[in-house]
A and B are shown apart, each in its own frame.
Chain A
Amino acid sequence: MDTVYLLDLFKKLLGGLPLTLNLAVFALLGGFAIALLLNLLRTTRIGNAVAGTYIFFFRGTPLLVQLFMIYFGLAQFEFVRSSFLWPLLREPYWCGLIALMLNDAAYTAEILRGGLRAVPRGAQEAARVSGMSRLQILRRVTLPIAVRQALPAYSNEIISMLKSTALVSMISLMDVTGIAREAVAETWRAVEIFLCAGLIYLVLSLIITRATSWAERALSPWQFGARQ
C-alpha cells in the first residue's frame, strides 16, 4: 500500500467530516424535538392516529426513497417552487437534513414511547399529589425517568443516524462518503478509499458507544451498583 497516498486520502476524507457530523447532530436534535411532539400528540385520540400514521410511513419506507422524494419529488410541484420554502428545498443540504430529521423522529418517537411506558405510575402519582403542575411532572419526573430508560435503545439510534448520513452523498453532498465516491470515480482505488471511509465511521461509532455508556452510568448511578 502507498502510505503517502493513504495519508493524503485521509486528509481529504476528513474534509467531509464537518458535514457528516453537522447532519448527524442536527438531525438527531430536530428528530428528538419532533419525537417529543409526536409523543405529546399521542395523548389525544386524533393526535394518536396522526402520530401513528406518521411513524408508519417513515419507518415503513427506505430513508433513501424519502430523501429522493424530498429532493427530486417536491421540485415537481409548482406550489412548492413558488412557496417561501423553496430557497431551502432546492438546497441539497436542507433536503438531506430534513429527510434525516423526519426519519429519525419516527424511530426516536418509538424509543421514547417505550421509555415513557416504563415510567412507574406511582412516581407520577407521587409528583401529582405533591402539587406539581402537569408541566412540572413532565419536566421533573416523567421525562427524566423515560430518557434514562430509553438511553440504551437511543444510543443505537444515534449510531444508526450517523451512518445514515452517508446517503446524502446520493444527492451530491460532499460528506465523508460523498468525497470517497468522488475519489473512487477519479482513481478506481475502491478498496483503500472505502476502507478509509469505513474506518472514520467506525471511530465515530466507538466514540458514541463510549459516550452513551458513560452517560448511562452518570445518569443512573443506582443501576450500576453505586454505593454511598
Chain B
Amino acid sequence: MTNNLPAVSVKGLHKSFGSHEVLKGIDLAAHDGDVISLIGASGSGKSTLLRCIPMLEIPNSGSISVGEAHITPRDGKLSRADERTARAIRRDLGFVFQNFNLWPHRTVLQNVVEAPMIVQRRNKAECRDEAMALLEKVGLSDKADAWPNQLSGGQQQRVAIARALAQKPRALLFDEPTSALDPELVGEVLKVMRDLADEGRTMIIVTHEMGFAREVSSRTIFLHQGLVEEDGTPEQVFGNAHSERCRAFLSGYFDRA
C-alpha cells in the first residue's frame, strides 16, 4: 500500500478563532503505517490541528490532502465542490473523539454499522458481520445490543474506535481519546490502540499519555503556540529534544509521575 503520496498531508495550515490565531502555519505528513503523536500544552493547537483534517474546523488557509483528495479552503469557507471533497475525505478517515460521541439512540451494533450502511451504502448483512468482528476485536461482542449509556466510558470509547474502523479508513485520528476516562479505564483503550498500531494502521493521536506516545508512536510532534516546535522519533523528542520548551513541558510531565 505504501507509495510516495502520504496518507494524510497538511500544508501551511492557518486557523484563527476570531482574532485569536490558533494555528500559525503547520506542515504535517503521515505516510501509510505512521503512528504520529501530537503533544503539547493545552492551547497549543493540537486538537484544532486534528479537527482541521476532516474539516470539523475549516482552516483559514493552507491545504489538506487525504490520499488523492485535496482541499484548499479560502477564508475559513468551503465551496460547494470543497464540501464534496470534504465528505470524501471524511469517509476515508476514522475519527475518535475525547467524549466518544456515540449516537445515544442507536445500539452499540447500530452505531458501528451506521456509516458503512448509510454513507457507503454497503450490503447490510456484510456490514453486520464486519461490525461484529470489529466489536470482537475491541472485546465488546457481548455488548452488541446494549445502549451506549449502559456502558462505561472505556467501553464507549472502544465502541467509538470500532465505529471508526468500520469505515475502513485510510488513517485513524484520535482526539485525546483517554482524557475523559477514569484512570482505571484508560488502560483498556490504550491496549486497543496499541494493537491497532501493531497492525500497521496509520494513526494520528493527540494525547497527554506520554508513556503511550513514547512507546507506541513512530513519530512525536510537539506543538507550541500553533507551531511545530519539535518533530522527531520518540527517542529523540523524549530523550534529547532540541527545544528548551519541549524539554520543560516533558519534565513537567515526568516529574509529576
| Chain A interface residues toward B at CB < 8 A | 120, 122-123, 125-133, 136, 140-141, 144-145, 148, 219-222, 226-228
Contact = CB atoms under 8 A, between A and B. Distances in A.
B105 A128 contact: no
B146 A136 contact: no
A126 B118 contact: no
Nearest to A121: B101
A222 B118 contact: no
Nearest to A140: B118
A122 B146 CA distance: 20
Contact of A145 (B93, B104, B146): B104
Contacts of B118: 132, 136, 140
B24 interface: no
A145 B106 CA distance: 10
Interface in B102-143: 102-105, 114-115, 118-120, 143
Contact of B104 (A123, A128, A130, A132): A123
B179 interface: no
Contacts of B160: 126
Given A148-B105, A222-B150, 14 more contacts: A120-B101, A123-B102, A126-B97, A126-B163, A130-B115, A130-B163, A131-B87, A131-B120, A136-B119, A140-B114, A145-B103, A221-B147, A228-B146, A228-B150
Given A126-B102, A127-B103, A136-B119, A228 B167 contact: no
A144 B105 contact: yes
B99 A122 contact: yes
Contacts of A133: 87
